[in-house]
Amino acid sequence: MVPELGKRYDPKKVEEWVLSFWKEYEIPRKVREQSLSREDAPLFRFLEGPPTANGYMHVGHARGRTFKDIVLRYYRMKGFRVWDQAGWDTQGLPVELEVEKKLGFRSKKDILEYGVEKFIDECQKLVDYYISEWRSASERLGLWLDYDHAYQTRHPRYIEIAWRFLKEMWERGWLYEDLRVVPVCPRCETALSSHEVALGYKVVKDPSLYFKIKLLDEPNTFLVAWTTTPWTIIANEAVAVHPTETYVKIRVGNEFWILAKKRLEAFAKEVGLQSYEIVEEFPGKALEGKVYEHPLLEEVPKHREHRPPHHTVLTAEWVSMEEGTGVVHCAPAHGPEDFELCKSVGIEVFRPIAKNGVFTEDAGKYAGLWFRDASEKVVEDLRRKGLLVYLGWIEHEYPHCWRCDTPLMYYADRQWFIRIEPIKKTMLEENEKIRWRPDWAGKRFEDWLANARDWCVSRERFWGTPLPVWTCRSCGYRLAVGSFEELRKLAKNPQDFVDPHRPWIDRIVLRCPKCGGDMVREPYVVDVWLDSGIAHTAALHQYGWDHLFDELFPYDWITEAVDQTRGWFYTLLVTSVAMYGKTPFRAVLCQGHVLDKYGKKMSKHLGNVIWAKDFMEKFGADLLRLYVTTKAAPWDSINFDPDEVSEIRRQLDILWNCVLFAHTYASMDRWSAENLEKDLGNALPVDRWILYELKRLVEEVEARILNNDLHLAARTVLNFIVEKLSHRYITLIRPRVWLEEDRVEKRSAYATLFYVIKNVLKVLAPFAPFIAEYLYQAFVKRYDPKALESVHMESWPSIPKELLDESCWRGVEKMFVVAEAVLAARTRVGIKRRWPIKRVVVVAREGLEDIAKGVDVVKIYANVKEIELVSDVGKVEGLEKIYEDKDLVVYADLKLDEETLMEGLAKDVVRRVQVLRKEMDLPIDAWIDRLLIYAVGDLRKAVERFRDYIARETRCREIVLLDAPPEGGRKSVVEGMELVIKLEISR
Partner RNA sequence: GGGCCCGUAGCUCAGCCUGGUUAGAGCGCCCGGCUGAUAACCGGGAGGUCGGGGGUUCAAAUCCCCCCGGGCCCA
**How far is the C-alpha of 763 from the C-alpha of 756, rounded, in Å?**
10
Site membership for RNA, residue 593 (CB under 7 A): yes
Q: What are phi and psi of 247, to 5 degrees?
A: -115, 155
Do 244 and 264 form a contact (C-beta atoms < 8 A)? Answer: no
- Contact window for RNA (CB under 7 A) among 214-222, 456-464, 730-738, 771-779: 730-738
CB-nearer residue toward RNA: 397 or 806: 397
Do 599 and 629 form a contact (C-beta atoms < 8 A)? Answer: no
- Contact window for RNA (CB under 7 A) among 425-433, 650-658, 670-678, 778-786: 650-658
How many chain residues interact with RNA (CB under 7 A)? 74
**Cα 613 → chain centroid:** 16
* Closest distance to RNA from the beta carbon of 198 (Å): 2
* Closest distance to RNA from the beta carbon of 452 (Å): 8
Pairing of strands 312-315, 246-252: unpaired
Cβ partners under 8 Å of residue 266, min gap 6 = none
Going by C-alpha positions, the residue among 401, 404, 408 that lies closest to residue 605 is 404
CB-nearer residue toward RNA: 120 or 710: 710
Neighbours of 258 (CB within 10 A): 28
Site membership for RNA, residue 199 (CB under 7 A): yes
- Contact window for RNA (CB under 7 A) among 33-41, 56-64, 160-168, 655-663: 655-663
CB-nearer residue toward RNA: 183 or 464: 183
CB-nearer residue toward RNA: 32 or 649: 649
Calculate Rg over the CA atoms of the chain.
39
* Closest distance to RNA from the beta carbon of 639 (Å): 5
* Closest distance to RNA from the beta carbon of 73 (Å): 23
Paired residues of 414 in beta bridges? 179
CB-nearer residue toward RNA: 8 or 604: 8
Cα 717 to Cα 712, 751, 772: the distances in Å are: 9, 21, 12
**Cα 187 → chain centroid:** 31
**How far is the C-alpha of 615 from the C-alpha of 62, rounded, in Å?**
10
- Contact window for RNA (CB under 7 A) among 195-203, 371-379, 424-432, 789-797: 195-203
* Closest distance to RNA from the beta carbon of 460 (Å): 22
Buried b (16+ CB within 10 A) or exposed e, 97-124: bbbbeeeebeebeebeeeebeebbebbb
Q: Using CB under 7 A, which residues numbered 954 to 983 contact RNA?
A: 954
Do 414 and 177 form a contact (C-beta atoms < 8 A)? Answer: yes
Q: Which of 340, 653, 866, 944 binds RNA (CB under 7 A)?
A: 653
CB-nearer residue toward RNA: 823 or 848: 823
* Closest distance to RNA from the beta carbon of 791 (Å): 20
Pairing of strands 888-892, 837-844: antiparallel
Site membership for RNA, residue 824 (CB under 7 A): yes
Do 652 and 771 form a contact (C-beta atoms < 8 A)? Answer: yes
Do 487 and 450 form a contact (C-beta atoms < 8 A)? Answer: no
Strand, helix or coil for residue 761: helix
Site membership for RNA, residue 637 (CB under 7 A): yes
* Closest distance to RNA from the beta carbon of 861 (Å): 8
CB-nearer residue toward RNA: 207 or 438: 438
Site membership for RNA, residue 631 (CB under 7 A): yes
Site membership for RNA, residue 678 (CB under 7 A): no
CB-nearer residue toward RNA: 306 or 917: 917
Q: Which of 194, 232, 537, 708 binds RNA (CB under 7 A)?
A: 194
Q: Which of 414, 727, 743, 845 binds RNA (CB under 7 A)?
A: 727
CB-nearer residue toward RNA: 683 or 722: 722
* Closest distance to RNA from the beta carbon of 388 (Å): 25
Q: Which of 632, 703, 706, 829 binds RNA (CB under 7 A)?
A: 632
Q: Using CB under 7 A, which residues numbered 560 to 589 contact RNA?
A: 562-563, 565-566
Q: Which of 26, 121, 641, 806 binds RNA (CB under 7 A)?
A: 641
Strand, helix or coil for residue 616: helix
CB-nearer residue toward RNA: 525 or 718: 718
Return the amino acid letter for 492: K
Angle between helices 898-919 and 947-954 (to 10 degrees): 30
Q: Which of 34, 731, 807, 972 binds RNA (CB under 7 A)?
A: 731
CB-nearer residue toward RNA: 5 or 145: 5
CB-nearer residue toward RNA: 463 or 635: 635
Cβ partners under 8 Å of residue 801, min gap 6 = none
- Contact window for RNA (CB under 7 A) among 301-309, 465-473, 767-775, 817-825: 817-825
* Closest distance to RNA from the beta carbon of 157 (Å): 32
Q: Which of 26, 281, 397, 740 binds RNA (CB under 7 A)?
A: 397
Q: Which of 8, 269, 547, 801 binds RNA (CB under 7 A)?
A: 8
DSSP alpha helices (H): ranges in 42-155? 59-77, 93-103, 108-114, 116-141
Buried b (16+ CB within 10 A) or exposed e, 830-841: ebeeebbbbbbb
Site membership for RNA, residue 660 (CB under 7 A): yes
Do 231 and 372 form a contact (C-beta atoms < 8 A)? Answer: yes
Q: Which of 129, 176, 393, 440 binds RNA (CB under 7 A)?
A: 440
Burial of 573 (0-12, 13-18, 19+ CB in 10 A): buried
Helices and strands: H and E segment counts in the chain: 35, 36
Q: Which of 78, 424, 833, 895 binds RNA (CB under 7 A)?
A: 833
Q: Which of 638, 757, 761, 909 binds RNA (CB under 7 A)?
A: 638
Q: Using CB under 7 A, which residues numbered 902 to 931 contact RNA?
A: 907, 910-911, 914-915, 917-918, 922-924, 926
- Contact window for RNA (CB under 7 A) among 327-335, 358-366, 372-380, 440-448: 440-448
Cβ partners under 8 Å of residue 253, min gap 6 = none
Paired residues of 395 in beta bridges? 205
Torsion of CA 245, 251, 257, 261, to 10 degrees: -20
CA atoms within 13 A on the CB side of 286: 12
**Residue 842 belongs to what H/E stretch?**
strand 837-844
**How far is the C-alpha of 800 from the C-alpha of 691, rounded, in Å?**
10
Q: Which of 636, 742, 849, 897 binds RNA (CB under 7 A)?
A: 636
Site membership for RNA, residue 182 (CB under 7 A): no
Q: Using CB under 7 A, which residues numbered 357 to 396 contact RNA?
A: 396
Q: Which of 414, 743, 832, 952 binds RNA (CB under 7 A)?
A: 832
Residues labelled catalytic = 50, 89, 529, 564, 568, 601, 604
Site membership for RNA, residue 823 (CB under 7 A): yes
CB-nearer residue toward RNA: 34 or 914: 914
Paired residues of 241 in beta bridges? 315, 327
**How far is the C-alpha of 334 from the C-alpha of 236, rounded, in Å?**
9
**How far is the C-alpha of 411 from the C-alpha of 394, rounded, in Å?**
23
Site membership for RNA, residue 447 (CB under 7 A): yes
Site membership for RNA, residue 633 (CB under 7 A): yes
Site membership for RNA, residue 601 (CB under 7 A): yes
Do 756 and 687 form a contact (C-beta atoms < 8 A)? Answer: no
Paired residues of 638 in beta bridges? 594
Site membership for RNA, residue 654 (CB under 7 A): yes
Pairing of strands 435-437, 587-591: parallel
* Closest distance to RNA from the beta carbon of 740 (Å): 13
Site membership for RNA, residue 858 (CB under 7 A): no
* Closest distance to RNA from the beta carbon of 129 (Å): 28
Counted residue by residue, the chain has a size of: 987
Q: Using CB under 7 A, which residues numbered 295 to 334 contact RNA?
A: 322
